[in-house]
Structure 1
């Protein structure tokens, strides 16, 4: 029987796995995917996450690739308006973060078990039995569901995921190359007609992360994202002749969702990261909140595994993190609305969502 079985090998699951393995506990990590992804996704680490990664021994690796400051270059109706320098964190692609964590975990003797899909959960006072889609059963003392917003773990537990969401995408996103475009700044183009496109140079690569308003048809309905659509959006908003977007290695769409689980512990099973809460992207708090979830859950499980593991010990995680999740949802929703309003004014951009405008609950 393993000490902790972790479902999901994103930043949350891998952070938790490294934390527990470093403490000397037996850990297994399963993922329904067949291999790691290579997508920029969440691309910014905040100081609190850097502190966690320093303790885990991966910060030096990440720092050799990521950059600590970036200039936001704002354009409006095709004209360069101003530049805004920002710092205080680390700009780096999510796939690079996961790769560094996987390498650290491998050095501790643990490897992600890809192609392993969770299908059933049962538990008693002695532990948890996780049944996989292929019929394999894994016994563990505890299970941590770190398997994303569509969490199978959460669904199998029957835990409600309450909140609101939009069916229509608010943004199309992807990773592209843009030969000839300066990689010294994060380009942010907006127009008086509404909408815009952002191209952020990803460190350690020759690609940009693209974020843009969806292209719409004659009926006003959003068109599915594609490289061809990205180019038309770029031509419409950036108005930079001669730049052709190429090699789209990631194409997706993002919808506004503000949801959280009504509870993040069910006996010996816990939820963390997007499995426990999803929120708007403003401020880059999603991945970072998941990393902090993992650090808190690591402390809770270590205390339970090293001691009697009573209810008071196990309840500590939910007592700490559920109020934080609720605050993050409210905060990021407010930040997102601020950004949507700000970009209508020349010279303003995503920087308005980088800090909160109201103190956290209880402060």
Structure 2
């Protein structure tokens, strides 16, 4: 490997949603990080288009929610077609209400390329950078750091490396970390961003198979754009043609539209739906995140969201070690917490793909948490409130303060409800008030990623808990 031509504290390989979200989180923590991307530009397609409510909360904290809202829109109602006639509506998601503790009820549609543009703009706003056209080809690590070599002959030295370079991760392969998984569906899929005429943009248009051996066709207007996303399933063993003529052929054959109604293919891909989980998420100073760690069926919109939340979990821990003096053992909890979540979500997305699970409460990801984590401390013998240590910290109002406003930023927060709290470290924000519906009474330490780490009826043990993370 050539000499190191640059040093950074954290090198992030891959400028997808995972890498960009992690770059944002580290930039706001003033960690010297660099994102490198093999391609010459951001990913151009719509692939992951659903932003789940939990990820909306994450984006609120990262400072991109307004831009995400402006870039997309709500999902349209499904419309089933047969022989050129509308046969009726199909609800794609179970309904959900917006409540005080959960301000985002339904998933928000944003094509992946637009999500990445929003994240990239925020990263640059915070002073972060992406180096495009840098393909990682080799990796070596020692006690002090990691050296990553690139196809252009250069190399970068970092204290830590995060592989966010997708399902075919070059970093994961270089480390020899295997993935265990299964084929979710042996039938290949086509997904393409197209310009199309003859369909309204008020519905997600669904064309069920009309005969033996024919797969479904779905044409969804992509919110915030003039494009539609075409998705089609083919018989096992079919060679899928992703050219303009190939997309026109399948649209013409499976719908009432003429092939020439597809006027342009802006991006297209074919794939075999599969689910796979990396055997481990950490190798020394190198971490796997996003698709490099877990590969999902696109059904249910879980992959991108789980990936962003990997970054959200890892970012504050790297910041605590590199900036706050927390012990390096904190980084072990990234795999401890995220790998079980990823395994569970993989099963969920596979169930949605196979029609065994509805798109509803589980797919919104608000119920995911870390109750079994070694970072979670529940000191109450009797828990009257709905919130336990390890759970996502709900929104609400305490002492006239909206909690999500208090949580926003890279800090820790103590929510004291009906209990007095003496002095805490200056880096910790304290919100005080009387009994609140979601929290009841008690003291709740909310981690930087919005989960309750410690909960108690009184403050005994509170300061000792905070010291674990370099908060004195």
User: What TM-score results when the alignment is normalised by the length of structure 2?
Assistant: 0.69
Alignment-derived partner of residue 295 in structure 1: 312
Determine which of 92, 96, 100 is the counterpart of 2:114: 96
What's the offset of the Cα at 1:221?
3.2
Alignment-derived partner of residue 335 in structure 1: 352
SS at match of 1:316: helix
SS at match of 1:88: coil
Give yes or no for contact 2:252–2:259 (8 Å, CA) kept in 1: no
- Once the two structures are superposed, residues 11-61 of structure 1 have per-residue CA deviations (whole angstroms, 9 ceiling, x without a partner) of 000000001101111110001101223211111100111111111111101
Q: Which has the higher contact order (CA 8 A, sep 6+)?
A: 1
* Structure 2: runs of 5+ lacking an equivalent: 1-6, 94-104, 373-472
Determine which of 170, 173, 177 is the counterpart of 2:191: 173
Give yes or no for contact 2:183–2:274 (8 Å, CA) kept in 1: yes
Does 2:206 align with 1:188? yes
Does 2:292 align with 1:283? no
Q: Quick check: which has more Rg, 1 or 2?
A: 2
Give yes or no for contact 2:74–2:223 (8 Å, CA) kept in 1: no
Give yes or no for contact 2:282–2:288 (8 Å, CA) kept in 1: yes
SS at match of 2:15: coil
- Alpha-carbon RMSD across the aligned residues, in angstroms, is 2.5
Alignment-derived partner of residue 348 in structure 1: none
Alignment-derived partner of residue 220 in structure 2: 200
Q: Distance in 1 between matches of 2:311 and 2:220?
A: 28
Alignment of 1:5-154 (within 5 A): 5-84=11-90, 86=93, 88-154=106-172
Does 2:245 align with 1:228? yes
Q: Distance in 2 between matches of 1:167 and 1:75?
A: 24
- Once the two structures are superposed, residues 191-218 of structure 1 have per-residue CA deviations (whole angstroms, 9 ceiling, x without a partner) of 34242211111122211011012389xx
Q: Distance in 2 between matches of 1:9 and 1:307?
A: 26
Q: Which moves more between the two structures, 178-187 or 309-318?
A: 309-318
Number of residue pairs matched by the alignment: 348
Q: Which moves more between the two structures, 100-109 or 187-196?
A: 187-196
User: What TM-score results when the alignment is normalised by the length of structure 1?
Assistant: 0.89
CA distance change for structure 1 residues 305 and 242 in 2, over 3 Å: closer, same or farther?
A: closer
Q: Which moves more between the two structures, 148-157 or 29-38?
A: 29-38
What's the offset of the Cα at 1:109?
1.6
SS at match of 2:140: strand
- Once the two structures are superposed, residues 164-190 of structure 1 have per-residue CA deviations (whole angstroms, 9 ceiling, x without a partner) of 237965211101111232111111111
- Once the two structures are superposed, residues 300-351 of structure 1 have per-residue CA deviations (whole angstroms, 9 ceiling, x without a partner) of 2112212445452111100000101111111111111117xxxxxxxxxxx9
* Structure 1: runs of 5+ lacking an equivalent: 340-350
